[in-house]
A and B are shown apart, each in its own frame.
Chain A
Amino acid sequence: MSPIPKKQLLAWLPVIVGLLVLYGPSLYDLFTGIWSSDEQMHGPIVLGISLWLLYRNWATMEVAASGKQTSAWGGAIFVFALLLYAVGRSQEILFFEIGSSVWMLMALLLLKRGLSALKVQWFALFFMLFMVPLPVTIVDIVTMPMKMAVSYAAEHVLFWAGYPIGRSGVVLQIGQYMLLVADACAGLHTLLTLESLGLLYLNLVRRDSFFRNVGLAVLIVPISFAANVIRVVTLSLITYHFGDAAGQGFLHGFAGIVLFLSALLLIIGFDSGLQWLESLRCGQSASSSAE
């Protein structure tokens, strides 16, 4: 059964129409523009998951918000979101244009249902931040050191494994092959995709333990890095053993899947590790209190 009754849907109709007029064209531009590129593949996935999270928590939100005052802060945020949108849309600043949607939804929840409703939906809105395209300048600044670090780590892993490997900047040479670590292989967007994946895992698993939540959220950064190294190593090995065509062909896509699978496995592995640590610690404190 839908958690949103028809009668409520009618009350939200003006807002829904407004949102469609504002963000319909934006979404069209995104889907026909940057979201169709390899680097920003996570955008539509994040949007879909955010909307699903909003929908899933809707009934809980209504219960939490019932009988509560709506918040006047919503008005101020609403105006801010509208200005941000107008500037972003007209000047093609996607960071503002798409970023305004998060502020807009926040304002709408405050205006229609109040602060307690926002508290229920905060994660869905926070999660939406991951779909906001970052300014090119920021992406460029962060991407280069990451690519260097990933290349460096991949070189050392392969060297220890006894492969004939050399590196100059972000160019790896394995056997007779030269591999250039591209943006898509080690970029900020991969990090963001994996970070969002990790946060979603945390939210879905719903740990009560603060220690495990914070621990894992922080660990996701090195996990993303490790996953990227695994991907570059995998690609290097594919190229070395099966040739250049294989490395650039369908196996390139395979390496992308390796990236996500290894990240997911690492996340689950670390989570179990943290759980074990916690049980150890709790066991100790339990036994020490018993003494």
Chain B
Amino acid sequence: MDCNGLSHFDVARVLPVPQNEPMKLVLKDIVMLVSMLLSAVLGYTLHPRIFLADELPPMDLVAMVPSSFGEWREDANLSAQVVNPEQQTLLDKIYSQTLSRSYVNHDGYRVMLSIAYGKNQTKDTQLHKPEICYPAQGFKLLSQKPITLNLLGNVVRATRLETELGARIEPLIYWTVEGDRNTTTAISMRLAELSYAARNRIPDGMLVRISSIDKATDMANQIQRDFASDLIAAIAPATRRRFLGIPTND
């Protein structure tokens, strides 16, 4: 000790582990390790694994959504031109199915319908909301407000947006469905996911968007509301609830 020039005090500084209580330390370490392992097990077992969509009849948007209903007929030539403000690669990654159609009525008024369906509503594959992806693709967001739609007696909470790209004014309405719920905010979506997770289920999700290129936005909104009612009425009653977010126990 003395040859090294180290005092007793210095040795204590180099060895901070108190040598007189090894048992207590080991016990503490074991408790810590066991708790950590327990938490890892919890994280693994509480993870939902069953897709809600797998317990329901398969979703087939093309077959479920008629190409003509009420006063509306699909304009096949124009359907290809429905602008999706997101790149196709991203759409394919997020959604299991997408449907884009352009409908025209006897007055020649055009309405664009876009339905995106995702089987897996978890972090990376969540629905992308129009108020985020329209501006991301260069559109200006002129206004945004929550609205309620009355579709065949069902109250659906939706959002009304007005967007602009150069000379193109595109008002739209959209609503989202997660599992059997009509969710609106990011928080309500997360809560819906959590309540499904408690039942070991992963919910599916759908976004229905109805838009038209029209400067008279209030009139466009009324037409879009009527279109939504006609659309829902034309969908088979058995699958209708999945487009609206009506709980199955109703």
* A interface with B by C-beta (< 8 Å): 8, 11, 14-15, 17-19, 21-22, 33-34, 62-63, 65-67, 78-79, 82-83, 85-94, 97, 108, 111, 113, 135-137, 140, 144, 147, 168-171, 180, 183
Asked whether A169 lies within 8 Å of B138 as measured between CB atoms, the reply is yes
How many contacts between A and B, using CB within 8 angstroms?
107
Q: In the assembled complex, how far is the CB of residue B152 from the closest CB belonging to chain A, in whole angstroms?
A: 31
Q: In the assembled complex, how far is the CB of residue A43 from the closest CB belonging to chain B, in whole angstroms?
A: 15
- Find the A residue at minimum CB distance from B17: A11
- Find the B residue at minimum CB distance from A97: B43
A22 vs B29: C-alpha distance when bound (angstroms): 16
Asked whether A15 lies within 8 Å of B139 as measured between CB atoms, the reply is no
Please report whether the interface of chain A is mostly helix, strand, loop or mixed according to DSSP: helix
Q: Verify if B8 is at the interface (C-beta below 8 Å from A).
A: no
Q: In the assembled complex, how far is the CB of residue A80 from the closest CB belonging to chain B, in whole angstroms?
A: 11
Q: Verify if B61 is at the interface (C-beta below 8 Å from A).
A: no
Q: Which of B34-42, B69-77, B226-234 contacts A (4 or more CB under 8 A)?
A: B34-42
Q: Which of B118-126, B172-180, B239-247 contacts A (4 or more CB under 8 A)?
A: B118-126
A79 vs B45: C-alpha distance when bound (angstroms): 18
Q: Verify if B46 is at the interface (C-beta below 8 Å from A).
A: yes
User: Interface code B78-110, partner A: CB below 8 Å = 1, 0 otherwise?
Assistant: 000000000000000000000000000000000
A259 vs B138: C-alpha distance when bound (angstroms): 23
- Find the B residue at minimum CB distance from A144: B135
B residues contacting the other copy or chain, number (CB 8 A): 42
**A92 and B138 in contact, given A14-B29, A111-B28, A144-B132 (Cβ under 8 angstroms):** no
A21 vs B41: C-alpha distance when bound (angstroms): 10
Could you list some 14 contacts between A and B, CB below 8 A?
Answer: A11-B17, A15-B33, A66-B16, A82-B35, A85-B43, A86-B42, A86-B43, A89-B43, A91-B193, A91-B194, A91-B197, A108-B32, A180-B137, A180-B138
Q: Which of B110-131 contact A (CB under 8 A)?
A: 122-124, 126
Asked whether B25 lies within 8 Å of A11 as measured between CB atoms, the reply is yes
Asked whether A144 lies within 8 Å of B136 as measured between CB atoms, the reply is yes
Q: Verify if B165 is at the interface (C-beta below 8 Å from A).
A: yes
Asked whether A15 lies within 8 Å of B29 as measured between CB atoms, the reply is yes
A11 vs B123: C-alpha distance when bound (angstroms): 38
Asked whether B16 lies within 8 Å of A62 as measured between CB atoms, the reply is yes
Q: Verify if B237 is at the interface (C-beta below 8 Å from A).
A: no
Q: Using Cβ atoms and an 8 Å threshold, which residues of chain B touch A140?
A: 132
Partner among A63, A87, A94, A147 whose Cβ is within 8 Å of the Cβ of B13: A63
Asked whether B36 lies within 8 Å of A19 as measured between CB atoms, the reply is yes
Q: Using Cβ atoms and an 8 Å threshold, which residues of chain B touch A21?
A: 36-37, 40
**A90 and B186 in contact, given A66-B12, A168-B166 (Cβ under 8 angstroms):** no
**A92 and B123 in contact, given A14-B33, A18-B32, A144-B135 (Cβ under 8 angstroms):** yes
Partner among B32, B46, B186 whose Cβ is within 8 Å of the Cβ of A111: B32
Asked whether B186 lies within 8 Å of A137 as measured between CB atoms, the reply is yes
Asked whether A78 lies within 8 Å of B35 as measured between CB atoms, the reply is yes
Asked whether B123 lies within 8 Å of A136 as measured between CB atoms, the reply is yes
**A8 and B46 in contact, given A14-B30, A136-B126, A170-B138 (Cβ under 8 angstroms):** no
Q: A14-B33, A90-B42, A113-B16 are in contact. List 20 more A-B contacts (CB 8 A).
A: A11-B29, A18-B32, A18-B36, A21-B40, A22-B36, A88-B43, A89-B40, A89-B43, A91-B197, A92-B122, A97-B43, A111-B32, A137-B186, A144-B135, A144-B136, A168-B166, A169-B135, A169-B138, A169-B139, A169-B165
Q: Using Cβ atoms and an 8 Å threshold, which residues of chain A touch B37?
A: 18, 21
Asked whether A90 lies within 8 Å of B44 as measured between CB atoms, the reply is yes
A113 vs B135: C-alpha distance when bound (angstroms): 51
A78 vs B37: C-alpha distance when bound (angstroms): 13
Partner among A22, A65, A89 whose Cβ is within 8 Å of the Cβ of B47: A89
Q: Verify if B140 is at the interface (C-beta below 8 Å from A).
A: yes
Asked whether A85 lies within 8 Å of B39 as measured between CB atoms, the reply is yes
A189 vs B149: C-alpha distance when bound (angstroms): 37
Q: In the assembled complex, how far is the CB of residue A188 from the closest CB belonging to chain B, in whole angstroms?
A: 13
Asked whether B39 lies within 8 Å of A22 as measured between CB atoms, the reply is yes
Q: Using Cβ atoms and an 8 Å threshold, which residues of chain B touch A136?
A: 123, 126
- Find the A residue at minimum CB distance from B33: A14
A33, A94, A137: residue with the most chain B Cβ atoms closer than 10 Å: A137
Q: In the assembled complex, how far is the CB of residue B4 from the closest CB belonging to chain A, in whole angstroms?
A: 17
Q: In the assembled complex, how far is the CB of residue B249 from the closest CB belonging to chain A, in whole angstroms?
A: 24
Partner among A82, A137, A168 whose Cβ is within 8 Å of the Cβ of B138: A168
Asked whether B46 lies within 8 Å of A86 as measured between CB atoms, the reply is yes
Q: Using Cβ atoms and an 8 Å threshold, which residues of chain A touch B30?
A: 14
- Find the A residue at minimum CB distance from B35: A82
Q: Using Cβ atoms and an 8 Å threshold, which residues of chain A touch B16?
A: 62, 65-67, 113
A150 vs B168: C-alpha distance when bound (angstroms): 24
Q: In the assembled complex, how far is the CB of residue B155 from the closest CB belonging to chain A, in whole angstroms?
A: 25
